Amino acid sequence: MKPKVLMQVTAVLLLCAGFICFGACAVYEEPEMTPPVFRQDLSLIAPDEFPGKITELEDIAENHENPSVRVQAYYYAALACLHYNNPAPDYAQALRNLDAYMVIDTEHPREKGEIAVWQFVLSQMVTTLQDYEKLQKSYAELRQQYRNTEKNREFLGQQIEDLAKTIDRQKKEIAGLEDKIKKLDALHAEIEKKKRKK
């Protein structure tokens, strides 16, 4: 990865980590208003339990009867997608959850500006990662083309070498034939001379 891209990705990751910390604090600010399912400390979840936890939160976000709980579930799912304990962070999935949160949340206008920054950073990160994946794919295709070209070059080189050997062999055969023709001409001239003497 190029140093500039690496620095950008690192900066975005640091910003995301800061927003996750901010988000985690915001979730725990009012525990009496927060349902028990959201009170679990993400840092205490085992890494292999993250996919199940995210699925559970997204299910609550889509199906719970209380709109306030649905809003929180989207937010909490976004945090879980990005958490440092999550062995497979999914930035695109986190952005989808955060987008849904921003669309349906009407109760926290003060926090929306801060979360909009988080949403923007995530969208930039997702775009950068998608661009990086495209670059990797293009690089892999170019490497394959290079390998194919290299094989073709080697094959053509071998053919040229074989043709050069064939040409050398034919030159030797032609030289041998020319020598035979000269001998035959000399023999023919001698025969003609003998015929004239008779």
**Model pLDDT for residues 22-38, shown as the tens digit of each residue:** 554 444 444 445 566 67
Q: Can you list the residues of the chain whose pLDDT is less than 70? A: 1-37, 106, 108-111, 198
pLDDT, position 176: 86
Which residues have C-beta within 8 Å of that of residue 82, sequence separation ≥ 6? 16, 20, 89, 91, 94, 122
> SS3 for 76?
helix
pLDDT, position 26: 46
> SS3 for 65?
coil
pTM here? 0.55
Tell me the residue type at 134: K
- Helix H or strand E encompassing 195: helix 109-197
CA distance 53 to 55: 5
pLDDT, position 29: 43
